Chains A and B, each alone.
With several copies, the nearest count.
Chain A
C-alpha cells in the first residue's frame, strides 16, 4: 500500500471493488442472480418453497432452508476437486444461518427453500459475494423476506483497516472479517474473523465492514428495481 493509502489494485482503504448484479439470469430456477464482485463471478439459484425430499426431513411446524456453496473446479488457481470440501460445507452452513433471519419460514410449514450458489471464479470475499447474490435470488424468487441480506468483508492489511479485502491482500493480510447485515433491521447475521486485531481495530473493522454492506445494499436494491420496475417487467 502506498503512504496515502492507495492499495495494490488502486483502491482507497474504504473503497469497494466493482460490483455488478444481474437478476433473473437462470431460466429453470425460481429465482436467480449473478454477481461480479471484484474478480468473483458467482451464480445463485433458488428453488422453493417446495416439497422436501427425503420426506422425513420435512418439519411440520416450519419451512426449512438449505444452502449449498460450491466452487467450480476451474474457479481457483489450482484446479479444485469437484467434491465438496470441508471448507465449502462450513461456508454453506454460515450462509444458511446468515440468510435465515431474513426469511419467514414459519409461514411455509413442510416445505424447503433451496439456495444453490456456484462460485465460477473466486477472489477474496467470495462468501460475502455469494451471500449478496443469494439474497437477491431469494427476492427474485418472490419469497417473502423481512429484509435483504448484504455482505462485505473488512480486514487489516499493512497495519491499516481496509474495506473489502481482495485475494492478494488476503494472502498477505493480517486479518479478514466477513460481515453480513440485514440493512433495514440492522442486525449482523454473518460474522467471522481470521487474523489478529486489537479490541480497537476490531470495532473499526466491524464498522468499516458494515459501511461496505450498506453500499452493497444499494447495489442489490438497484439491481432488483431495474429488473422489476424500470423495464416494466414483472
Chain B
C-alpha cells in the first residue's frame, strides 16, 4: 500500500508519456493488452475458461445443477456469478471474507451478463415455481495485474459459451438427471465488458496495474451484440466529464466489436 520512490517515479513517467499520447508498455490508448482465451480447462466443470489479459490471469468454472427458483421468479432459471482474487494472485490479498473491491468486481461481472440477457433464463425452467436449472459462474483471479473486471468478464462469458447443460426430467416434482444428454446454453447475445481509466485528460483502455495505481477514475461499460450499452459502472475517487463519458461509450462499442469476434469463434 505504501508508496515508494519508484512508485512515484513510475506514476510521473506514465503521466508524462500520456501527454505525448503514449503508454508505458507501448500500447495505443485504445489498445488492449494481448488476450488469450482457452476453454475446457476444467473438464469436471460444465464449462470453463482460462483467460490471460496481459499479465492478468483468470480461471472460470461453470457448474450447472437443479435448484429452486427465487420467490416471485418461478419462471426463470438461476444465474449466479461470483469472483474471487486468490491470495496467490496478489501479495496484498489476504484470505478471508470478500472485501468491498471484490464484491464490486463480482457484481459488475454479474450485471454485465445479467443485464445484457446473455442467457435466456426462461428456457431453464424445469417445473414452474418449483424446479429450475441453476448456472453458477465462479471466477478465480490467479494473477492480478490490472483490469480484473474485463478479465473476469471475458473468462465468464467464454466459460458459459463452452458449457453443456445436462438434461433433467421431472419425476414426482423432483428433477432427475438424464444421463448422456446435454445441450448448449440458450445464448441470446454476447456481452463484452470494456474497462477504461482516466489519467489526467486521457482515457486509456484496459489499464494495467501500474496505470490503475495512478488513474483518477475508472469506467466499465458492457455492450451487447446489437451495439447497445447494457451495463456501466464508474469507479475510482474522481469523476468524468460528460464528453469523456460519451467518448468512453464509443470506445467500449468499438473495442467490444473486436472482442466479440473472439467469442464468436468459441460458439
Contacts and interface: CB of A to CB of B under 8 A. Distances in A.
Interface stretch (A6-14, A90-98, A223-231): A90-98
Contacts of B143: 26-28
A86 B106 CA distance: 10
A117 B144 CA distance: 16
> On chain A, which size bracket covers the interface?
35 or more
The SS class assigned to the B binding surface is: mixed
B234 interface: yes
Nearest to A74: B61
A78 interface: yes
Interface in B53-111: 55, 57, 59-63, 65, 82, 84, 86-91, 94-95, 100-101, 103-104, 106-107, 111
Interface in B209-240: 219, 221, 224, 227-240
Interface in A56-73: 68, 70, 72-73
Contacts of B63: 73-74, 79
B212 to A, nearest CB: 14
A161 B224 CA distance: 19
Given A28-B89, A28-B91, A210-B242, A197 B103 contact: no
Given A72-B59, A116-B88, A193-B231, A28 B42 contact: no
A202 B233 CA distance: 14
B152 interface: no
B44 interface: yes
Given A28-B90, A73-B138, A86-B103, A100 B233 contact: no
Given A26-B88, A192-B234, A43 B142 contact: yes
B37 interface: no
Given A74-B48, A76-B44, A188-B245, A90 B107 contact: yes
Contact of B237 (A84, A86, A97, A122): A97
A232 interface: no
A206 interface: yes
Contacts of A76: 44
Contacts of A122: 44
Contact of A74 (B55, B62, B235): B62
Contact of A188 (B65, B95, B240): B240
Contact of B228 (A26, A29, A194, A196): A196
Nearest to A203: B246
Contacts of A39: 43-44
A206 B246 contact: yes
Contacts of A182: 239
B219 A191 contact: yes
A186 B241 CA distance: 7
Contacts of A28: 88-91, 143-145
B259 interface: no
B214 to A, nearest CB: 15
B88 A199 contact: no
Interface in B5-53: 41-45, 48
28 contacts: A26-B142, A45-B89, A72-B138, A72-B140, A73-B63, A74-B138, A75-B42, A75-B61, A76-B44, A82-B82, A84-B95, A86-B103, A89-B103, A93-B104, A116-B88, A118-B86, A118-B142, A182-B239, A187-B238, A187-B241, A191-B219, A195-B115, A197-B228, A199-B250, A202-B246, A206-B242, A206-B245, A206-B246
Given A101-B239, A191-B245, 14 more contacts: A28-B90, A28-B143, A28-B145, A72-B59, A73-B61, A74-B42, A78-B65, A82-B82, A86-B103, A94-B233, A97-B236, A117-B88, A118-B88, A188-B242
The 4 closest A-B CB pairs, nearest first, are A74-B61, A45-B88, A187-B239, A193-B232
